[in-house]
Structure 1
């Protein structure tokens, strides 16, 4: 009897999706998963939440039960990070020198 219960529990855990990966589009009220489902902003977590804009496509992890969604990627977004070099349109400075790239010393959230 015990072995049968263990087998049932093991089969359940093997077949249940404890989390899932979803793609959605950011709206004013949340993230639209499909025509019928929009996840409200209060259920969205993650440090990328501060960087999303309406219209962005994002990849989310949905926890088991769907009570929390974590943004893992803003599709097509390339973050600027410390020690990264950013190419820019050439800028001519007053002494005639031209800048075409900038080395990032640090990044802070404003």
Structure 2
């Protein structure tokens, strides 16, 4: 998801707390996380490595813009992360795009691939 006219884009601690809440809300399992603020007026890059994959946040403080990737394996609902992330950034606009991957591989769906 992309967030525009966002707040807290330079606050690594607030972003880390929001991602932790998003992980909890999605019922995912946090394995580790790291957040880095690039300069006093710079943006933040952070990630949460999950047992089910990851969440990555990149902010552009000077642009008040946020790009967030929520990537899950299995049946977890990535949309459950939106509230915690929206609450910390309070954007005026959110754009969400969904990309489904590995839907037609021999390992995940052998019958579908053979039919194609």
TM-score of the two chains, using structure 2 as the length reference = 0.23
Higher helix proportion (structure 1 or 2): 2
Which structure is higher in RCO with an 8 Å CA cutoff and minimum separation 6?
2
Higher strand proportion (structure 1 or 2): 1
TM-score of the two chains, using structure 1 as the length reference = 0.24
Q: Rg: which structure is higher? A: 1
